[in-house]
Structure 1
């Protein structure tokens, strides 16, 4: 399939309708099609298209891609014959963490649940490849139509979605659907109409990214600078990143990196920083070491995190990926959760069809069980980091002394959410126990406004 031009025709009826063609939407459509379902995925933009993102893939994301692909995502998919989405992409061995007078290199942990490999792919290429995979799997892919309205029967809190109206230029079409999946981001207008409201009082991120040519684009480590200071020398509650992309940034012979930065913010302690200016200052700081060219294609975005939305499902609709705020508050990653939630949702559709309330109860319960504890604890930790002076006070403890490699190794694992309930090591037990305590605190202190995940 060529996704570079408007494609596909909108059907008048479809059993399963997916709005949004990013990783969450494409993975939903592909998984459903491979299961024999009649599915249509619609995106307002034509592909390839850009998305503000760090482009990094942790072992958790590689595992989710492997599950979707039906095998090694660097090889041809045995399910569809699609070229490997990670073919020719860099193999990332772990994190190189820098700051507060020290540097620690920590390989990905060797765990049963996740491969010890990460990667990085520009979103213009990753998203188009995943949408092609969905088309190869048998999904109907339609681009160039924007979802503008939704029709329900019954009350908005318990109603059933009947149809979605799309617009292209002056033309409008209405598509009736049996089940609707929302996968176009937490700021989706259709999501808001269905009651998906972002809880702005909770911790969220603001980030900017760029692409820089450099001869070090084949470096095998993701570099994270946890001591992120602005031009005035003030430490910001966030980090700078450098994701090696090999030669995947385009026509230049120089190899490239995705260079960016993000800061944490809450309504009580908003981040007082221009992230685009912070990015250029960060690039200047590492330019000599990385032999960087000038940052190009600078873009910024707001990142709702940790499941901080009011609703994620109704009788015959559900939200996945960013629309459900499935973004890790400790590292800003969402691709892994987008792929996971998409595949999980499709597995729940047959059960939902047999129950009177459909997805309204089982989908929130699943997300709480899968992500609730970890997201609750990560939100709490991220909120603490917004306190003025805290990062500067505790940061040096992690980078200096004989315990630094062990502490940063644990940080790498927790930042990547590379912990499962089956893990029995000390780090995992401590994290899982703390997560349950954090959830209990959420229920006790904020019963009226708690997010679905961790409630």
Structure 2
């Protein structure tokens, strides 16, 4: 139920997905007065594959949610299908890494609602049903955000003053656009659809990805399909394609998803029709500019923090939400502190090299002929696919020192040095 909006707060977080709720939970735990606001009324749905990689699990564990997540499905890794092959690839167990070796999948209707409640139990105030429609500026700072809410005589506007603003309003980021955020489509982006369908394999301990995706005419597409068991009697089934401004995705996502489901109906014991079909465009790999100002910062999907190789964004959302809260806890009392340069620099340091090489590789994958030529070679090698799973799954941490991590970081350095527009610039 919507609540009355306070008229001022120390930290204002707009958007209560994983990035926003994570930021609000951590800011409140650091002792900052925190207000979390979302335009929707919770619980609400969100177009997503619902998968939780070990990196996302790591962030949920830090929030104290291990037992809650384990009350849902737990998976061992990825079952990769394609080019006449099927490989079962365990989540990597890297010596010295603090990432978990298991994953999960929780519908966003439930996950986001629980994360929002976690922010509240951490000390944040949460208000839903309030849409951010404007900002009030004071020089180079945002002094307040204007919200539109339902009142007794129709829509009303309420002004909420803040010292710090965290923008976590998703891939479209309407508030980010008001602040000058721009999405650049010259690098790779995603076009994806997801649905839910009943399945007798809803408890399968593997998430499945089909790396060879073809349309009804048998034409190879620059994309992939997935089946993520939810342990609820249903699976999340979806299909996505990669595109750039030069090579746009010329597909109808929902018909493709239904065709894909038809191909898998017997193997995955699917029953009935697809439900809750939805699609979305995904800015990827930090392909946005103007991600911060003096006292505001974009996090998660709003900042383009989506993995170009697998469409994953929940882990980055939780991470960036936590890190921005840590910055505000450390420097928020200093009126001279500015996020304008600190935040994009931190994003580039954390994700720039990996995003650069990932979107370069994903850009190559927008050419179907490349997929059909290289796909069979990769699928014949457990070693290559294990490396691909680790790189695609964002499972290389700063602490990793093994050969796979060193190669990935080296490739990232070479790639970003050649970018016409590096991530977050």
Instruction: Kindly indicate whether residue 340 of structure 2 is the aligned counterpart of residue 360 of structure 1.
Output: yes
Greater RCO, 1 or 2 (C-alpha within 8 Å, sep 6+): 2
- 8 Å contact kept, 2:355–2:423: no
Deviations 1:188-212 (A, max 9, x none): 2221111111112221000000111
Question: As a proportion of its length, which structure holds more strand?
Answer: 2
Instruction: Kindly indicate whether residue 100 of structure 2 is the aligned counterpart of residue 105 of structure 1.
Output: no
Instruction: Report how far residue 27 of structure 1 moved.
Output: 0.6
- Corresponding residue SS for 2:282: strand
- Corresponding residue SS for 1:376: helix
Instruction: Report how far residue 9 of structure 1 moved.
Output: 1.7
Instruction: Report how far residue 362 of structure 1 moved.
Output: 1.1
Runs (4 or more) in structure 1 with deviation over 2 Å come to 350-357
Instruction: Report how far residue 451 of structure 1 moved.
Output: 3.3
Alignment of 1:5-404 (within 5 A): 5-6=1-2, 8-69=3-64, 73-75=65-67, 84=68, 86-111=69-94, 112-154=97-139, 159-169=140-150, 170-247=155-232, 255-293=233-271, 294-349=273-328, 350-351=330-331, 353-354=333-334, 356-400=336-380, 404=381
Q: 1:422 aligns with which of 389, 399, 406?
A: 399
Instruction: Report how far residue 407 of structure 1 moved.
Output: 0.9
- Corresponding residue SS for 1:322: helix
Instruction: Report how far residue 68 of structure 1 moved.
Output: 2.0
- 8 Å contact kept, 1:186–1:198: no
Q: Partners in 1 of 2:225 and 2:53 — Cα distance?
A: 16
Q: Partners in 2 of 1:421 and 1:377 — Cα distance?
A: 16
Q: Partners in 2 of 1:438 and 1:260 — Cα distance?
A: 30
- 8 Å contact kept, 1:165–1:172: yes
Q: Partners in 1 of 2:44 and 2:276 — Cα distance?
A: 13
In 2 relative to 1, CA 408–391 (structure 1 residues): closer, same or farther, beyond 3 Å? same
Q: Partners in 2 of 1:406 and 1:260 — Cα distance?
A: 27
- Corresponding residue SS for 1:29: helix
Q: 1:440 aligns with which of 412, 417, 425?
A: 417
Instruction: Report how far residue 355 of structure 1 moved.
Output: 6.7
Instruction: Report how far residue 87 of structure 1 moved.
Output: 4.2
Instruction: Give the structure-2-normalised TM-score.
Output: 0.96
- 8 Å contact kept, 2:356–2:423: no
- 8 Å contact kept, 2:331–2:337: no
- 8 Å contact kept, 1:352–1:359: no
- 8 Å contact kept, 1:96–1:104: yes
Aligned pairs, number = 417
Q: Partners in 2 of 1:311 and 1:68 — Cα distance?
A: 29
RMSD over aligned Cα atoms? 1.2
Deviations 1:197-237 (A, max 9, x none): 11122210000001110110000001000000011111111
